[in-house]
Amino acid sequence: MAKRYYWPKKAIFLITTLLIFMVIVMSAFDREVPYTKDDQTHDSIASVTAFTQVYKVLMSPRCMNCHPSGDVPLQGDDSHLHTMLPRRGKDGKGLYAMKCTNCHQPENTPGVRTPPGNANWHLPPADMKMVFQGKTAHELARQLVDPKRNGRKNMAQLIAHADDDLVLAGWNPGEGRTLPPISHAEFKKAWLTWIRNGAFAPAP
């Protein structure tokens, strides 16, 4: 009699154990592959979202005024053509008597409507104009990662460009000029998030 109670109990125990084991095995298969240390996590949504922040900065006057579609830099928050029409020239540093550094000093000139300063103040060169003006977010994202159009920069150099002198100049624009829409720290964070998640371009 005792035996008849003993076996079903054992069977229930075995079946329960088996079920728990199966649940553990199945949930293990269901789990995503854990990220390893060097895993490049390419999250296209995070990338594109970050680029919308980056794009707002690139298209702000502090940046776009030096990345014009023509050969004359732009001025002001309305990005009008630079007065006296200094031209790009082959190296981006101006032509003849209208060299950028004739007027743009190493530091901002005090006062309103005075030239912003930087020792390296110039436009991108004629053979690599790096135009921002008029570009959609899709077009600009594609251009920025293309070494044939971004100044022959690889990904590491592109990342480093967040702290470039002329990029930083955008946040030290001189009296009376508006700042880019987000802080440099926020810009850098978005720039890195965009690139490290695969530098995806927003839909055209």
> Angle CA(79)–CA(82)–CA(88) in degrees, nearest 5?
110
| Cβ-contact 139, 69 below 8 angstroms | no
Residue 105 contacts ligand HEC per CB under 6 A: no
Q: Distances from the Cα of 111 to the Cαs of 4, 5, 173, in angstroms?
A: 101, 98, 12
Among 84, 156, 185, 203, binds ligand HEC (CB under 6 A): 84
Interface of this chain with ligand HEC, residues 38 to 57, rule: CB under 6 A: 57
Nearest to 158 by CA among 124, 132, 195: 195
Residue 121 contacts ligand HEC per CB under 6 A: yes
**Count of Cβ atoms closer than 10 Å to residue 20 Cβ:** 10
- Take residue 45 and report the two structure tokens written for it: 């949504």
Residue 75 contacts ligand HEC per CB under 6 A: yes
Residue 137 contacts ligand HEC per CB under 6 A: no
Residue 130 contacts ligand HEC per CB under 6 A: yes
Q: Distances from the Cα of 21 to the Cαs of 9, 14, 16, 27, in angstroms?
A: 18, 10, 9, 10
**Residue 25 C-beta: closest distance to ligand HEC, Å:** 50
62 burial type by CB count under 10 A (0-12 exposed, 13-18 middle, 19+ buried): buried
| Cβ-contact 73, 59 below 8 angstroms | no
- Span near ligand HEC by CB under 6 A; candidates 20-28, 30-38, 97-105, 195-203: 97-105
- Span near ligand HEC by CB under 6 A; candidates 4-12, 13-21, 39-47, 122-130: 122-130
Among 48, 66, 195, 199, binds ligand HEC (CB under 6 A): 66
Residue 117 contacts ligand HEC per CB under 6 A: no
Among 94, 141, 195, 201, binds ligand HEC (CB under 6 A): 94
Give the residues lining the site for ligand HEC (CB under 6 A): 57-58, 61-63, 65-67, 73-76, 82, 84, 86, 88, 92, 94, 98, 100, 102-104, 113-116, 121-124, 130, 143-144, 150-151, 161, 166-167, 169-170, 173, 177, 180
